[in-house]
Amino acid sequence: MRHVSCRTTTGLALVLALHVLVPCSGGATQALVRDVASAGCGRHTPAGGCSGAACWRLTVHLVRALRGGDDEDATVAPSDEERREREKMERDKELIAQLQGMRNECNKLKRRIKTVSEEIEEHEAAANVLGKFDSARPCKRAVGGVLMESSVGEVLPAVQNEQALLAKAAEEMTAKLRESEKQMAEFQKKHDIRIVSEELENSV
């Protein structure tokens, strides 16, 4: 007579659960289940109790058998499907990192273009003010953080020249930004990458 309070009952449930997760022949599983259900630890008697440790060791032994070996540290080798899935995840991480690098580069260009555009507006405003005065009128110009005495006739051409250089730089950066955005769009299309936030913005 055996007591059902022993861990054999738990072990039986565990073996049945592992049979779902670990491929095994039906006959072998049935034999292992019979062992768990009938072998026990040998100490289930009306006169004596069981600590459950022996039954637990039996269950662990049978679990290892289901996994294909008795080594406690043995692990189940990944299937081809699992290996392919893992490789796909690694490739996806690399692609996302590449795309993020492209996005960062585009954002840097946008910030730089915005800064240069503000500087162009400031130069334009200064040129408009200077243009209202006679070229001989004295004025001051900041050079390297130091105010230098000068005249409108000297400062105005310098301001206009700097404005032209800034406009050229903004034009070049804008062209580079468009090219970068084009490459990024092609990269996304090639690797079928969709950005959810962008899709939501386009749908509004």
> pLDDT digits over 114-157, tens only?
999 999 999 999 999 999 999 999 998 888 888 899 999 999 99
Inside any domain, residue 75: no
Identity of the residue numbered 74:
A
For residues 110 and 60, membership in a common domain is answered with no
Position 24 in a domain? yes
Task: Say whether both 84 and 50 belong to one domain.
Answer: no
105 and 180 belong to one structural domain: yes
Cα dihedral 127, 137, 142, 129 in deg (nearest 10): -20
Q: Indicate whether 122 and 31 sit together in one domain.
A: no
The dihedral formed by the CA atoms of 176, 180, 182 and 187, expressed in degrees to the nearest 10: 160
Residue-level pLDDT at 180:
96
Q: What is the CATH number of the domain that holds 169?
A: 1.10.287.370
Residue 158: pLDDT above 50?
yes
User: 16 is written with which tokens?
Assistant: 């049945």
Q: Which of 173, 144, 139 is nearest to 157 (CA)?
A: 139
pLDDT for residue 23 is more than 90:
no
Q: How many domains does the structure of the chain reveal?
A: 2
Q: Are 92 and 123 in a shared domain? A: yes
Task: Tell me the C-alpha distance between 4 and 40, whole Å.
Answer: 10
Residue 35 predicted with pLDDT over 50 = yes
3-state secondary structure at position 188 = helix
Determine, yes or no, domain membership for 1: no
> Quick check: 79 pLDDT over 50?
yes
Q: 156: domain range?
A: 80-203
57 band by pLDDT with thresholds 50, 70 and 90: low
